[in-house]
Amino acid sequence: MKAIKLIFAAALTVFLAACGSTPQPPVQLQKQLLNAEKRVGIYVDVIEEPTTNIYGAGCLLCYGVAVAANSSLSKHLESLPTSDIESSKQILLEGYKAKAGSVEFIELTEQEFKKLKKFKGELGYAKKDFRSLKESKNIDVLVVLDIATHGAYRGYTNYVPNTDPQGYVRGLVYSVDLETNQYLQYLELDKKVVVEGEWDEPKQKFPGVTNAYYQAVEQVKETINKIFL
């Protein structure tokens, strides 16, 4: 009985300790490791359509109510083209072209991604072991652009909104040296832009929120551009 208790306590400690793991800090682009002989592959994860992202509606019913309350905004955002946010990949292409010999976009299927093993490295190393891609994709450096979500952000406490909808883009951009699996660059993207004036303008197709969304997109593009400065 004692042993069971001990194992349970140990498992709980490990579980709680994992919750507090140190997040990866930003890594400035290691330009000295890029040269004309390096081959760079840029992988852009699928970018979903923009929508309203609800945070803080802590119960299932609260979340349902919040989603329903913002449904007309979500419907509008989903009708917006993704071409603006997608154009951020061109900034990466141009940026790396100026620093490396060969740069191209690469495709990675979901299966290929799943096949990659976990990498047990310290901070500064990618969590997945990308090293196998060096041979299979014939590249030395992998660049990943992952736009996790975009559209509008709205904070809630249970059923009640704490914020007005804001323009929102969240994602991650990083590059990995496929020799060592070390990050050459790592940056979390998180832009929220407040709507100027009223936001609840369904008859006019939410011009305030739409403008704030495009502002967030442009801010993300500026941030990506600054990686190469």
Partner 1 sequence: MIRIKKLLVSLVTIAALAGCKSPKRDDYVVAKSLNKDDVIEQSEFKFYLDLNAPVEIRGEYSHDRSIDSAQVMYYGTPGAALVQVFSHAAINSSLKEQRLKEQQEEANRYIGPLIEASKQVTHVTLTEDMSDYVVKQLPVAGDKTVNVKPIFFSNQDMNKLSLKLIAWIEKPKSSKTKSRKKLSNLMYQNIIEVHGSTWSEETATALMDGQADIADHYEALFVRAVESLKKDLSGTYSQTPQQQTLHIKKKNTKQFLRASVIEQSCEYVVIKNLRNWILHYPASYVTNIQNQC
Spatial contact of 173 and 219, defined as CB atoms under 8 Å apart: no
Taking CB under 8 A as the rule, does residue 197 contact partner 1?
Answer: yes
The size of the interface with partner 1 (CB under 8 A), counted in residues, is: 30
Spatial contact of 177 and 146, defined as CB atoms under 8 Å apart: no
Using CB under 8 A, pick the residue from 8, 11, 26, 58 that binds partner 1: 58
Each residue 30-49 as x (binds partner 1 by CB under 8 A) or -, in order, gives --------------------
Taking CB under 8 A as the rule, does residue 225 contact partner 1?
Answer: no
Identity of the residue numbered 114: K
Tokens of 214: 């495009």
With CB under 8 A as the contact rule, which of the stretches 37-45, 101-109, 130-138, 204-212 interacts with partner 1?
204-212
Using CB under 8 A, pick the residue from 158, 179, 202, 226 that binds partner 1: 158
Q: What is the DSSP secondary-structure string of 113-152?
A: HHHSPB----TTB-SB--TTHHHHTT-SEEEEEEEEEEEE
Q: What is the distance of C-alpha 52 from the center of its chain?
A: 16
Binding site for partner 1 (CB under 8 A): 58, 84, 155, 157-164, 194-198, 201, 203-205, 207-208, 210-211, 214-215, 217-219, 222
